[in-house]
Amino acid sequence: MKRLHIELGDRGYPVWIGDNLLLRSGRLLARLGFDTPPIVVSNARVMRIHGKALVHSLQDIFGRVSMVCIGDGERFKNQATLTRIYDGLLRARAGRRSWVLAFGGGVVGDVAGFAAATFLRGIPWVVMPTTLVAQVDSSVGGKVGINLAQGKNLIGAFHQPNAVLADTTVLRTLPARELAAGLFEIVKCGAIRSKALLAYLESRLDAVMKCEPEAIERVVVDAVRIKAGVVAVDEREEGARMVLNFGHTVGHALEAATDYRRFKHGEAVAWGMVAAAGLARAAAGLTSQEEERLVSLIHRIERLPGLGRISSARVWQALQRDKKSQGGRIRMVLLSAIGRTEIVDGLDPARLRQFIAEFLKNADRHGQ
């Protein structure tokens, strides 16, 4: 088990990463000073596979455990689900000393964290991410929220958890597509900050995809360490933290344009990275060799869902609503080289719109 620390002063918190943390979760959380029963927010699939181990560990320490079960999938990251969690907190007679334990993937963490941020103006919460994408991305950094029909994460807050427990054992139960979605977020971390991580993925991809303990723990720890370093410098995404959005500008637009039904989040980010790499050749000086290196690794991981019949007009509309846009100008994180990024502001709208249309038309043939 590895222990990292998110350095945010009095809002800092530990991140534990390793095998079989579910079985030790009650004791680890008690060490942090929790002494009241948690309200666990999860979904039926996660509880069916892993719930027994978690509940036993928590009951050994805290006795009673309250449960709130929500839907499984990005389309449930909405106001209706948020209300369901509030109702569960009220049924559990939650007060200011109560705490939420988010047990699931990124949707569970984002919505449960937002509920914790806003219930009674904020109560503590802990994240136990059960997907790879949640372990390396959404569980760290305190960004919580819900989607609107018009765009992703348009309603939200910064509310740092009190701890993150990332049990790498649970990753072995993930469907191959879900695991691949998380690997794309690890590729992103390597692309923006670490040539060594990208090289490790290239050389040890089979071991990582088989969730061999040493290999999967290595890449999860490296990715979390990269994100922790960025968050410590820029907690509220006022500047430096934007680098973590590499691939997300186009990726979020693809998700919104397909009503969050065609892509896993990581898959949309993967297509977003492919698009951003193409843009970076002209706008940031990325070499064609480094573009091909990144795109090749992405396509080694998974054959991505196609982009056929996605409306370029809807993608363009979603891009214009992106949270990083300012005054109608679209800002994008682009690579100048593997491990180095630039934030490019004010891309020519006409050229960018043409690029998006051509990308949607031709991307399915790229790298497959």
Residues 75-129: tens digit of each pLDDT: 899 999 999 999 999 999 999 999 999 999 999 999 999 999 999 999 999 999 9
Comparing 116-125, 187-196, 232-241, 342-351, which segment has the lowest mean pLDDT?
232-241
Domain stop point among 151, 173, 195:
173
Same structural domain, 41 and 155:
yes
- Dihedral sign, CA of 92, 139, 325, 307? negative
**What digits encode the pLDDT tens for the residues 25-34?**
999 999 999 9
Same structural domain, 333 and 190:
yes
Domain at 283, CATH number: 1.20.1090.10
Same structural domain, 183 and 166:
no
Same structural domain, 128 and 200:
no
The catalytic site residues sit at 121, 143, 185, 227, 237, 241, 245, 248, 252, 265
Decide the pairing of beta strands 13-18 and 2-6: antiparallel
| Residue span of the structural domain in which 72 resides | 2-173
**Considering its fold, how many domains does the chain have in total?**
2
Assess contact for 110 and 146: CB atoms under 8 A: yes
Assess contact for 274 and 363: CB atoms under 8 A: yes
CA dist 203 and 343 (Å) reads 29
Task: Grade residue 367 by pLDDT with cuts at 50, 70 and 90.
Answer: very low
User: What is the C-alpha radius of gyration for the chain, rounded to an integer number of angstroms?
Assistant: 20
Domain at 48, CATH number: 3.40.50.1970
**DSSP structural state of residue 159:** -
Nearest to 84 by CA among 112, 60, 105, 63: 112
What is the model's pTM? 0.91
Three-class SS state of 274: helix
CA dist 286 and 323 (Å) reads 25
**What digits encode the pLDDT tens for the residues 277-306?**
999 998 989 999 999 999 999 999 999 999
Same structural domain, 321 and 292:
yes
